[in-house]
Amino acid sequence: MTRLVAISNDPISAYLAKGEIKAGYFNPGDLFDQVDIITLTDRDVSPEEVLALAGRAKLNIHPVGRVSPANLARLFPRVRRLIARLKPDIIRAHNPWLGGALAVHAGRAIGRPALVYLHIENDQRRRFDKRFRFRLVKPLERYSLSRADLVVCVSKFLEGYARRYGASKVTTVYNKVYTDQFARPAPEDLRRPLQILYVGRLDPQKCPELIIQAMEGLDAELTLIGQGSERARLEDLAKRLGLGPRVRFIDSVPNAEIQRHYHQADIFAMATHYEGFCIPVLEAMACGLPVVACDTQPIPEILGETGLVVAKSASAYQETFKLLQATPKLALDLGRRAAERAGGLDGRLMEEQEAAIYRQLLAD
């Protein structure tokens, strides 16, 4: 029996609430017979609610308690003992901070390979977000990245960051978007009013206010899908600009249904201060949508010359929306090229690439 232990970045309940439960996410290629997920929370969902995460494997979820300065010293031996009892073949963690440090610590103790996944360039984040806690965790980053048996980046952009913190073995596997879920017949023309879509968190990391401000004077409607602390401020901005019903907010959409919102759009727009990948951009590409996004890496890497990269300003977004509205042939051509590129990054190809990594580790 092959077993995987995964230390999750967030409680699984948070992924469930956001509609981000993806089939086979913790079991690429159905290589494992049992998947055990460790979460740093007091209580989490039951495995039966999220069985899809483990593919055909048996799934267990182990909440080990919310982390605090008072229990941090006890957490490492507690998690190490738990992982030793579970007897995994491979351990994986989904960030280079506490999760990565726990995985590396346990892996070295029981002689099993530990993988650390990178989803964010944290030095880029620190340049924007000055909160002390993001500086406080730098020693954990260096500990986990320098000691991981393999660091798996979700974009090439992240590889340099991993190596700066001591990673010796680094590879890239793009986040998985299955293009057959998103494919749609090629639209004949753009709609009137123009339908613009944003999908992403409404948190300080992002800056969708630029897209909202760009709506002034456009014959267009904007839909924003996502949760976050900035929603009330963004709703107030739309009201102050007199955009009213032309800007619609949707909290969350299950991943299995999100494609219908892309299919109803003419343009996908993304504005963000820092990223590690940005799955909605690839989802939009898979739907054949022209993408308008700022030049924050790795978005240009994902687009690969198939979208329109603009300055991080409302006027730049507005001018580009007007350009696409005035030249529908350009919009359709960008969408066609984006869909072709998305096909070359299809989730099945990425899943096989990830499964090959695990097969090699199991063989070794």
Mean pLDDT of 137-166: 97
Sheet containing 247-250: give its strands across: 247-250, 220-225, 194-199, 267-270, 291-294, 308-310
Look at residues 297, 263, 298, 301 and name the one whose alpha carbon lies nearest to residue 283: 263
Is the predicted pLDDT of residue 18 greater than 70, yes or no? yes
| DSSP string across 286-320 | HTT--EEEES-TTHHHHHTTSSEEE-SSHHHHHHH
| Mean pLDDT estimate for the chain | 95
Is the predicted pLDDT of residue 186 greater than 80, yes or no? no
Is the predicted pLDDT of residue 189 greater than 80, yes or no? no
Residues 102-133: pLDDT tens digits?
999 999 999 999 999 999 999 999 998 888 98
What's the confidence (pLDDT) of residue 93? 98
Residues 210-262: pLDDT tens digits?
999 999 999 999 999 999 999 999 999 999 999 989 999 999 898 889 999 99
Q: pLDDT-derived band of residue 357, with 50, 70 and 90 as boundaries?
A: very high
Is the predicted pLDDT of residue 92 greater than 70, yes or no? yes
Look at residues 38, 325, 333, 276 and name the one whose alpha carbon lies nearest to residue 162: 276
What pairs with residue 114 in β-bridges? 91
Q: pLDDT-derived band of residue 73, with 50, 70 and 90 as boundaries?
A: confident
Mean pLDDT of 53-65: 96
Percent of the chain with pLDDT over 70: 99
What's the confidence (pLDDT) of residue 171? 98
Q: How far apart are CA 149 and CA 152, in angstroms?
A: 10
What's the confidence (pLDDT) of residue 188? 65
With vertex at residue 205, the alpha carbon angle to CA 354 and CA 251, rounded to the nearest 5 degrees, is 85
Contact (Cβ atoms closer than 8 angstroms) between residue 104 and residue 143: yes
Distances (CA, A) of 330 to 11, 121, 214, 268, 335: 43, 33, 20, 14, 9
What's the confidence (pLDDT) of residue 217? 93
Q: Report helix, strand or coil for 270.
A: strand
State phi, psi for 268 to the nearest 5 degrees. -105, 135
Is the predicted pLDDT of residue 342 greater than 80, yes or no? yes
Q: Which domains, ranges and CATH numbers included, belong to the chain?
A: 3-177+347-363 (3.40.50.2000), 179-344 (3.40.50.2000)
Residue type at 299? I
Sheet containing 90-93: give its strands across: 58-63, 34-39, 3-7, 90-93, 114-118, 150-153, 170-172
Residues 276-302: pLDDT tens digits?
999 999 999 999 999 999 999 999 999
Q: pLDDT-derived band of residue 163, with 50, 70 and 90 as boundaries?
A: very high
Dig out the tokens for 161 from the structure. 């960051």
Query: Is pTM, for the whole model, over 0.75?
Result: yes
Percent of the chain with pLDDT over 90: 88
Specify the DSSP class assigned to residue 217: T
